[in-house]
Structure 1
Amino acid sequence: MNILTFDIEEWFHLFDNVFTDDLNQWSNYESRIQSNMDRLFFMLEKKNQRATFFCLGWIAEKYPNIIREITIRGYEIGSHTSLHQLVYKQTNHQFREDLKSSLGTLEAITGIKVKYFRAPGFSITENNKWAFEILSEQGIEIDCSVFPAAHSYGGFPSYKTPLPSIISYNGITIKELPINFQTMFGKPVIFSGGGYFRLFPYQLIKYWGNQSDYLMTYFHPRDFDPDQPLIKELSFSRRFKSYVGLKGAEKKLGRLLHDFDFIDIATADTLIDWKKAPRVQL
């Protein structure tokens, strides 16, 4: 089962930098979201490919035409929060209000209930599991925020279940489609999206993908935009993660779409036997 997803945000929605973290600074950067979305639409329709788009409420407010176009083209929409903040840096109240804002904006534009969610930076961790309660409270049925390995923003190494599973926490249950991994020298290796996809050679990604019964991808429009400006204030490590492999990423995605059959989350939900799925008690 191969699931194709995109996190819809601007090219400057990067962490680890006071300028790009601060929404008051975002107006200082040029917008590239429309041209980057046009590139994605062209690639997906060329392959007649379905996908799920996790959209920022901020994008929806500024560019409602993009959200309408995603829906008109027949793709499904999930929430990626409103203001692209790391969840573990928020209080329960802040996260709830941010989520409610994103859901309200997206649903007002599309007229469709939003049932899927992915946290920016996979920032639901072992220390803020309360976020799952809020997701359930707000009607989210499937979460895609668990990164079951170490990550720059915490990750969830103790999850250890890189498969469709059901989270049980503090009286609620929620379906989880986590990021998958392969194991190298006893360590989990992520390869199916973002900087990992841009960094690893395609043949290795293809090999690992073929070894995976479950593959969850996560891409951003900026991943395929080699002409985006360089943000000089970024640290060396963040600059490397954000800009490595941009020139070859579009061709690499084209090869991936040719070599693998992908589905969206709604289709995956119908194919998974949730009664037999692993149950993860947090």
Structure 2
Amino acid sequence: MTVDVEDYFQVSAFENIIDRKNWTKLPCRVEQNTDRTLELFAEHNARATFFMLGWVAERYPALVHRIVDAGHELASHGYAHVRVTQQDPKEFREDVLRTRKLLEDTASTSVIGYRAASYSIGRHNLWAHEVLAEVGYRYSSSIYPIYHDLYGMPEAPRFAFYTHQDRLLEIPVSTMKLAGRKLPCGGGGYFRLFPYYWSRWALRRVNHQDGKPCVFYFHPWEIDPQQPRIPGINLKTRVRHYLNLNRMQERLACLLRDFQWGRMDQVFLEQQK
């Protein structure tokens, strides 16, 4: 189970609408939504990995402590949700080093995992894996092996694989294979779009037919139907972002009841020992 800790106005779909320099002028809701997420996990005795923006951690250090104190893993989501496709290797290196230091200094715990903003590691920038390995990260969860208009690497393996001289484990978000095609089943907008029984069936198929653990993700803003509406966005973006927000928390509760969930480091790295 993974949570990408970012606020509603920080998503990539809004980056051409909301300038990052204006983030501090907007009402933040990430702390209260992440606290609700922690309560939900506690109710179901679930552990997760929280991929946190450095920008959020810097402003809410007590939230970082609450995540770690509850037994969850703290991991990096970069500092300000800049896609790797918009960075060169030097900028990327500085970003992942800065964010890890901030998280580790705040939480007094090691940070070994990374997830790129909007799954923005793909066929054209696999050099990012080399950078992550060289600076000491042990795993990445930054590739979604599907076709999507904003991200995706359909030819990537569906399940965890080692890269850069076997020094870094890449752990893709879960997909299922049906009629020769990879279909998304690992969370995000797809989880809000499809009926819950479809997601449950698909995840169980991965568990039982493929014999593999699933990787699921969501954002704290997805359980917040009262979040401010962003003006000036097109219909596709509006549907993707706001669809079924009022149903998300209930569906997550079902997911937590129907499956057993753990932290990325414990599920994927401990079994490699």
TM-score range, shorter chain: over 0.9
Is 1:96 paired with 2:93? Answer: yes
The normalised TM-score by structure 1 is: 0.90
1:6 aligned counterpart, secondary structure: strand
Amino acid in the other structure paired with 1:210 = R
Unaligned runs of 5+ in 1: 275-282
Q: State the partner residue of 1:64.
A: 61
2:225 aligned counterpart, secondary structure: coil
Q: Is the 8 A contact 1:133 1:172 kept in 2?
A: no
Q: State the partner residue of 2:248.
A: 249
Q: Name the CA shift for 1:242/1:210 in 2 (closer, same or farther; >3 Å).
A: same
Q: Is the 8 A contact 1:191 1:200 kept in 2?
A: no
Q: 2:160 aligns with which of 164, 167, 188?
A: 164
Q: State the partner residue of 1:203.
A: 197
Q: Relative contact order, CA 8 A, sep 6+: which one is greater?
A: 1
Q: Is the 8 A contact 1:136 1:172 kept in 2?
A: no
The normalised TM-score by structure 2 is: 0.93
1:151 aligned counterpart, secondary structure: coil
Q: 1:179 aligns with which of 155, 158, 173?
A: 173
Q: Is the 8 A contact 1:147 1:178 kept in 2?
A: yes
1:272 aligned counterpart, secondary structure: helix
Q: State the partner residue of 1:15.
A: 12
Q: State the partner residue of 1:258.
A: 257
- Percent of counterpart pairs with the same letter? 31
**Count of residues in correspondence between the two structures:** 267
Alpha-carbon distance in 2 for matches of 1:90, 1:99: 11
Alpha-carbon distance in 1 for matches of 2:54, 2:189: 23
Q: State the partner residue of 2:228.
A: 229
Q: What is the CA-CA distance between 1:66 and the residue it aligns to? A: 0.9
2:155 aligned counterpart, secondary structure: helix
Q: Is the 8 A contact 2:118 2:151 kept in 1?
A: no
Q: What is the CA-CA distance between 1:223 and the residue it aligns to? A: 1.1
Q: State the partner residue of 1:27.
A: 24
Alpha-carbon distance in 2 for matches of 1:263, 1:71: 14
Amino acid in the other structure paired with 2:225 = P
Q: State the partner residue of 1:82.
A: 79
Alpha-carbon distance in 2 for matches of 1:208, 1:251: 18
Unaligned runs of 5+ in 2: 208-212
Q: Deviations over 1:107-146 (max 9, x none)?
A: 1011112100100100001001110111011111011111
Q: 1:125 aligns with which of 122, 145, 149?
A: 122
1:74 aligned counterpart, secondary structure: coil
Alpha-carbon distance in 1 for matches of 2:151, 2:222: 22
Q: 1:107 aligns with which of 104, 109, 114?
A: 104
Amino acid in the other structure paired with 1:265 = M
Cα RMSD (Å) of the superposition? 1.5
1:96 aligned counterpart, secondary structure: helix
Q: What is the CA-CA distance between 1:240 and the residue it aligns to? A: 1.1
Q: Deviations over 1:218-262 (max 9, x none)?
A: 110011111111111222111111111101010000000001111
1:12 aligned counterpart, secondary structure: helix
Alpha-carbon distance in 2 for matches of 1:223, 1:32: 11
Q: State the partner residue of 1:277.
A: none
Is 1:5 paired with 2:5? Answer: no
